[in-house]
Structure 1
Amino acid sequence: MKRVKLIVAYDGTGYCGWQVQPNEITVEGVLNKHISELTGEDIKVIGASRTDSGVHALGNVAVFDTESRIPGEKMAKALNARLPEDIIIQDSKEVPLDYHPRFQDTRKTYEYTFYNARYDNPVTSRHHHFVYVPLDVEKMKEAASYFLGEHCFISMCSSKAQVTSYVREIYECDVTQNGRYITMRVTGSGFLYNMVRLMAGTLLEVGRGKQEPQWVKEILASKERVTPGPKLPAKGLTLIQIEYPEDRENAE
Structure 2
Amino acid sequence: MPRFVLKIEYDGRPFAGWQAQADQPSVQGAVEAALARLDPGFASGARIAAAGRTDAGVHATAQVAHADLARDWDPFRLAEALNFHLKPAPVAILAAARVSQDFHARFSATERRYLFRLQARRAPATHDRGLVWQVLHPLDADAMRQAAAHLVGRHDFTTFRSAMCQSASPVKTLDEIRVEESPIPHGREYRFHLRARSFLHNQVRSIVGTLERVGAGSWAPDRVAQALSARNRAECGPVCPPHGLYLCGVGYPRDPFAA
Which residue type is aligned with residue 201 of structure 1? Answer: G
Report Cα offsets for 1:13-44 as digits up to 9, x if no partner.
11110001111110000111101102233241
* Deviation by residue 1:201-226 (Cα, 9 ceiling, x = unmatched): 00011011000111111122233434
- Once the two structures are superposed, the pairs formed by residues 208-227 of structure 1 within 5 Å of their partners are 208-227=216-235
Q: What are the ranges of 5 or more consecutive residues in structure 1 without an aligned counterpart?
A: none
Cα distance in 2, alignment partners of residues 95 and 121 from structure 1: 41
With 26-35 and 221-230 compared, the bigger mean Cα shift is at 221-230
**CA shift at 1:84, angstroms?**
2.5
CA distance in 2, matches of 1:69, 1:228: 49
Q: Residues 154-204 of structure 1: CA distance to partner in whole angstroms, max 9, x if unpaired?
A: 010111112221011111101111212111110012110111000000001
Deviation at 1:118, TM superposition (A): 1.2
For 1:33, the equivalent position in structure 2 comes to 33
Structure 1 residue 178 corresponds to structure 2 residue 182: yes
Deviations 1:64-91 (A, max 9, x none): 1112132234311221122135101111
The yes-or-no answer on 1:188 pairing with 2:196 is yes
Partner Cα distance (1:174, 1:215) in 2: 19
Conservation of the 8 A alpha-carbon contact between 1:145 and 1:174? no
Contact preservation (8 Å) 2:159, 2:235: yes
Is 2:236 the counterpart of 1:231? no
Letter aligned with residue 143 of structure 2: K
TM-score computed with the length of structure 1 as normaliser: 0.94
Give the structure 1 partner of residue 9 of structure 2. Answer: 9
Separation in 2 of the partners of 1:84 and 1:193? 30
Contact 1:20 1:28 in 2 (8 A): yes
Q: Which whole-Å CA distance do the structure 1 matches of 2:232 and 2:222 have between them? A: 17
1:53 has 2:56 as partner = yes
TM-score, normalised on structure 2?
0.92
Aligned match of 1:207: 215
- Tell me, in whole angstroms, the C-alpha distance in 2 between the residues paired with 1:112 and 1:245: 25
d(CA) in 2 for partners of 1:189, 1:47 = 15
Residue identity over aligned pairs, in percent, reads 32
> How far apart, in 1, do the equivalents of 2:124 and 2:149 lie?
28
RMSD of equivalent CA atoms: 1.5
Q: Is the 8 A contact 1:16 1:53 kept in 2?
A: yes
Partner of 2:249 in structure 1? 241
Equivalent AA in structure 2 for residue 23 of structure 1: D
User: Could you tell me whether the CA contact under 8 Å between 2:116 and 2:192 is conserved in 1?
Assistant: yes
- How many pairs does the alignment contain? 249
1-side partners of 2:233 and 2:58: how far apart? 25
Greater mean alpha carbon deviation, residues 53-62 or residues 99-108: 99-108
- Pairwise CA distance, 1:124: 0.2
Counterpart of 2:73 in structure 1 is 70
The CA deviation at 1:230 is: 0.6
Looking at structure 2, the residues matched to 162 and 170 of structure 1 have their Cα atoms a distance apart, in angstroms, of 18
Partner of 2:129: 125
Q: Which amino acid aligns with 1:15?
A: F
| 1:22 corresponds to 2:26 | no
Secondary structure of the residue that 1:82 maps to in structure 2?
helix
CA contact (8 A) 1:15 1:53 kept: yes
